[in-house]
Structure 1
Amino acid sequence: MKKLALPAVLLLAPLLASCASGTSADGETSAPPPPPAGEVHWSYAGDAGPDEWGQLSDEFVECSAGTAQSPIDLPDHAEQQTTEPPTITAWPTVGESVDTGHTIQLVPDGDASEVEWKDEEFELAQVHFHMPSEHTVEGEVLDAEFHFVHTTEEGQALVIGVLAEESSTENEAWQPFIDGAAEPGTEDLPLDVAAMLPTDPTFEEYTGSLTAPPCTEGVEWVVYHEPIELSAEQIAVLKDAYDHTARPTQAQGDRVVYEGTIDVEQELAH
């Protein structure tokens, strides 16, 4: 696996404050958190949108010059099978919702999940969402996508992607995240990773990048094949927070997409 030394601030908040605008629950456009001094303004539309990211800063050059970028269009089923499936071990905990200026994150207070894969151990740093989905499946765009960002002590990154589609039933496991999206800054939100993942363990795997500036490559992606279902009301809350936070799909090039099944183990405490 390629070693990836990401700055700590990116590991905990890869979608930090920018000038992208959000929408409040009453439908009015709200001002996002101001970017830190010296931070480069980037967005999902307009002059600072995805097509321009690589020209906004020398630190963002990989967004346009990179050859292994994310997201990509995934096959319905990959022909190649992975020979070393990952294992997720999860513990129920609580977290705080954070508005980064581009998305809402749920940041765990303590251990929430770890992934053992390819002789590495990755720990969950945060969960955030994109709307609509960034990864597509055979060209189909889904309603939303969640990213469970895991990292090692050395700075390697593994992201578990969970696609989402609208249904008529509320998803109880995801309601704490939805509550945090409605009221950023909320603390002690229940975070149960095992309950939030799809029941079908099938996934597609490939090597890509962060999907937001600086678009750093060397990120391992594991995207669940089966989407979770959220109610129309839950989808509406996410849309009220940020209704367009998806980078367009990037060229796959000669990268191979593998398919496998993931093993999820849930423990009561850690």
Structure 2
Amino acid sequence: MEEIFKKKYVGRLIRVGVIACACSSASLAQASEAKTKPAAAPAAAAAGEESLDLLRQRLAERLSSKGDAPAPGMKVTASGGHEEAGKAAKAAKAGKKAEPAAHAATEHAHWGYVGEGAPERWAELDPENRQCAIGTRQSPIDIREGIRVDLEKINFDYRPSNFAVLDNGHTVQVNVAPGNALQVMGRRFELLQFHFHRPSEERINGRQYDMVAHLVHKDADGKLGVVAVLLERGRDQALIQTIWNNLPLEKGQPLAAPGLLDLNQLLPEDRSYFTYMGSLTTPPCSEGVLWMVMRTPVQLSSNQISIFARLYPMNARPIQAASGRLIKESSGGP
């Protein structure tokens, strides 16, 4: 039994591949001779025992010189290295799995009006949208208790212009050629574009209208001024029908329309208005926007409302806190 144990032990050491490094050629010869002689010869058994002791000693010295000497009683096997490699492989594999997750975390949900991108989550979708949550002069508001004063009339300098219609994924937007502007409060604002919301974002004394058109302007200092034209159900509106006639078939691709567009047709005859300081009603909800909300609504037909509703059933931001802002109401007429 002892000889069988020696054979298995020496065979295991040879398979590990450590003996070849630790043993001299003479020691290997002795080990081989010990394996082939019968166990009944005492001298051979003693020589084998001596060889085995020598192998153990030199193996221990070899491992000790590498700083890998096993603890007393620990078997020398190759499994430890594979176990560590397995842990490293698992760690690497986990790292590879974590990378797409980290990438996904940076992909923000796109803002909208329902679901994960709804207005109450705009600030969470992008750090640039912080004002949507912490701003104190946000729009839209319910316009109540405006101070009626003799406000300067808005001088609209609109003229027939080329235009293009764009479905930008949030609304129908109309880009108008340069040359349209307004003057108010000693400042001139150039028209950039106008677009629509359903229902109206702003309310007047609690009343919400069917739709609203927002005409977005910018002055020489980069300050924005927005004119809101409230739209209510009634008769056909010629300018809006012209826009609907030129709706693009694809989102994100503006369609240059034939003919000219005269924005004076969209304005009410009564040019009196409310004004207050607010913000954009879409992300990033930047504040410092001069709002001018026309007091008198403009009519459009039920069919014209239905056409927009098929594209955007609801694209209005909820009412924001007025936060004690001053609201002025003009008393002027046409």
Give me the TM-score of the superposition, normalised by structure 2.
0.63
Matches within 5 A, 1:91-170: 91-111=159-179, 113-167=180-234, 169-170=235-236
1:106-161 deviation digits (Å, cap 9, x = unpaired) = 101232x2111233211110010001110012212211010000012331100000
- For CA contacts below 8 A with separation 6 or more, give which structure has more relative contact order: 1
Residue segments in structure 2 that go unaligned for 5+ positions in a row: 1-105
Question: Hey, what does 1:73 align to over in structure 2?
Answer: 142
Higher radius of gyration, 1 or 2: 2
Q: Percent of aligned positions with the same letter in both sequences?
A: 33
**Aligned partners of 1:124 and 1:91: how far apart in 2?**
11
The alignment covers a number of residue pairs equal to 225
Matched, 1:64 2:130: no
Are the structure 2 counterparts of residues 87 and 51 from structure 1 closer, same or farther at C-alpha, using a change threshold of 3 Å?
same
Say if 1:86 and 1:263, in contact at 8 Å, map to a contact too: no
* Counterpart-to-counterpart distance in 2, 1:83 and 1:163: 20
Call closer, same or farther: CA 1:80–1:69 in 2, change over 3 Å. Answer: same
- Asked if residue 196 in structure 1 is aligned to residue 266 in structure 2, the reply is yes
What's the secondary structure of 2:139's corresponding residue? coil
More strand by share: 1
- What is the one-letter code of the residue matched to 2:143? L
Using a 3 Å threshold, how does the CA distance of structure 1 residues 198 and 38 change in structure 2: closer, same or farther?
farther
Q: Distance in 1 between matches of 2:229 and 2:295?
A: 8
Query: 1-side partners of 2:149 and 2:176: how far apart?
Result: 32
Give how far 1:174 is off: 2.3
Structure 2 CA distance for partners of 1:220 and 1:97, relative to 1, 3 Å: same
Give the SS at the match of 1:233: helix
One-letter code aligned to 1:61 = R
Unaligned 5+ residue runs, structure 1?
1-36, 265-270
8 Å CA contact 1:88–1:262 kept in 2: the answer is no
What is the aligned counterpart of 1:173 among 218, 231, 239? 239
Match of 2:317 in 1: 247
- Higher helix fraction: Structure 1 or Structure 2? 2
| C-alpha displacement of 1:78 | 2.6
* TM-score, normalisation: structure 1: 0.77
Deviations 1:75-131 (A, max 9, x none): 3x73332543331111111200011110111101232x2111233211110010001
Cα distance, 1:201 vs structure 2 = 1.2
SS at match of 1:218: strand
Q: Is the 8 A contact 1:206 1:255 kept in 2?
A: yes
The alignment partner of 2:241 has SS state of: helix
Counterpart CA distance in 1 for 2:150 and 2:318 is 26
Distance between the aligned counterparts of 1:234 and 1:81, measured in 2? 35
What does residue range 212-251 of structure 1 map to in structure 2 within 5 Å?
A: 212-251=282-321
